[in-house]
Chain A
Amino acid sequence: MKDKKTINIAVTGLNAIDSPGPGIAVSRGLREAEAFDVRIIGLSYESLEPGLYMHDIIDKSYQIPYPSSGTGTLFERIKYIHGIEQLDMIIPNFDSELIPFMKLSPELEKLGIKTFLPTHKQYEEREKFNLPEFGEKYDLKVPDSEAIHDISGLQKLVSEYGFPLVVKGKFYDAGIAYNLEQATSHFNRISAKWGLPIIVQQFIHGTEFNITGLGDGKGNTISIVPMRKQYITDKGKAWGGISISDKNMIDLTNKFISSTKWRGGFELELMKDKDGEFYILEINPRMPAWIYLSVGVGQNIPEALVKLALGMEINAFTDYSVGKMFIRYSWDMIVDLEEFQQISTFGEL
């Protein structure tokens, strides 16, 4: 049997916490790749990201500077890591680090490090505050929404949308408000944490669904896996879910990929109203934390993403198991102080 090639892949999002980053799920998918072997290099921001200590999933870890410290600092750190690890690819898994990595991708390419990210245009068009224009341009149903920069804008939108309405942060966090006091409280809390603008969105009554998938950047679908959340945490994150087979959801996702020529992994958050109409609530420009379900149902999206990035032969997935569930759990690892000291002091583990 021919030995499989080992690919060195750096992955962020090792915060496998109650509102988890996708890094560990992505890495599990990569470890199960059929076309290649992997050495996983974890990139972390904090010393207590659980993935740092999961040595059966992450081979070696390095701390990297926060995106806010600028792309120059980040690039220097990546160059240092590349000097040791000979990276073939980087998979950034946080929304907030996609722009820095998009900016750096030509420089990374020169070093021989591949990425497979959406384009700047794709990233910006689907931003929460651009969603109404996005819906109109691509003929996709989205709820009415508006970005506001100060609290005085709330009153106008309250009279337009009525209650309940949804108050959302630019990157993360959201709250449902049933009166003006709650809306004001969400505005203050989210803007203090994540900055401005705040997006105020019409509330669509219905059932929430999520879809993950992968587009090749030329308008072709490589993968689509729809899921219904079965167990939701108080932060609105899926703690359990099940793969489903709604044809309308698949058609909608194909339309999204072909019309935007989406490049890379993504997650669509959908609401199905009482008339059976689907609204796109959010488009996340990266693989979701539940991406391992795609591996479980027979569509290894992390592996396919690497194949696209490295120009390997790839066929679009055509089938997946319906009725397959994921159930998340928490697990206490026992860690020696030396490990914590090592990552805290030297930024490597």
Chain B
Amino acid sequence: MSMDRRKFLKIAGLSALVGLGGSEAFELLQPGAVDASEGHEGEGEANEGHEGPYAGDKIRWGIAIDIIKLGENPAMAKKIITTCHYEHNVPDWGNPKDAVKWIWEDDYEHSFPDSYNDLMAEKVEGMPFLLLCNHCDRPPCVRVCPTKATFRRPDGVVAMDYHRCIGCRFCMAACPYGSRSFNWLDPRIALKREGRKLNPRFPTRMRGVVEKCNLCVERLDAGKLPACVEAAPDIMIFGNLVDADSPVRKVLRERVSMRRKIQLGSKPSVFYLV
């Protein structure tokens, strides 16, 4: 078939028009379809028809950490960390590159980098802060996990299923709190080298998975308190954030509290009492 110049220009012009108007055509046929596929979930959707932050949930576990009391008795931080690390067989590699962190200590500047200033009171600056997974209401790590190895339980705990973790470390990039650690090496090497007594009730991890604080789900499911709370009940205050009479809610009503990096919108459930 031969085509003269006039016919070619006509077809070319028509094609260009259709091409330019492509996304509009989609919009015309199926309004909102393009937006939806790009992951714009409605902001208020999760809380629609609810009142208050956790309304609609029955259980929403949370921890309040009394920084003032911890500052008065800084030796307790060590005790809490040791208890947690024994409970979950967390290895100590002795270097920051391989470090596996479930609960750890840092200073104010690195815990609250957004509310730090150069003229801080010296007392505050030197205070020890206990950091752990914030068990966010909208956990970014869960959103990026390609295998659903990390997921949010109905009680708000952001849990890990090590059987499914493929070690891609997307969650580590997504977590704004540095609460996730990768097992570069077999953790049993470090546990053996330490010669430490292991907790026979809890497994270790293996090389190539990401791990983090699990808010002691294995203890919660058995009706016990998290190990850190049991080790220091006056510093770590645990409870159900939905229940207005729970110990956390009580202490949060009475004291000034802050959470880490709230402007990111991940809604942490670990509170710092100051």
Partners in one complex: no
What residues of chain A have their CB less than 8 Å away from a CB belonging to chain B? none
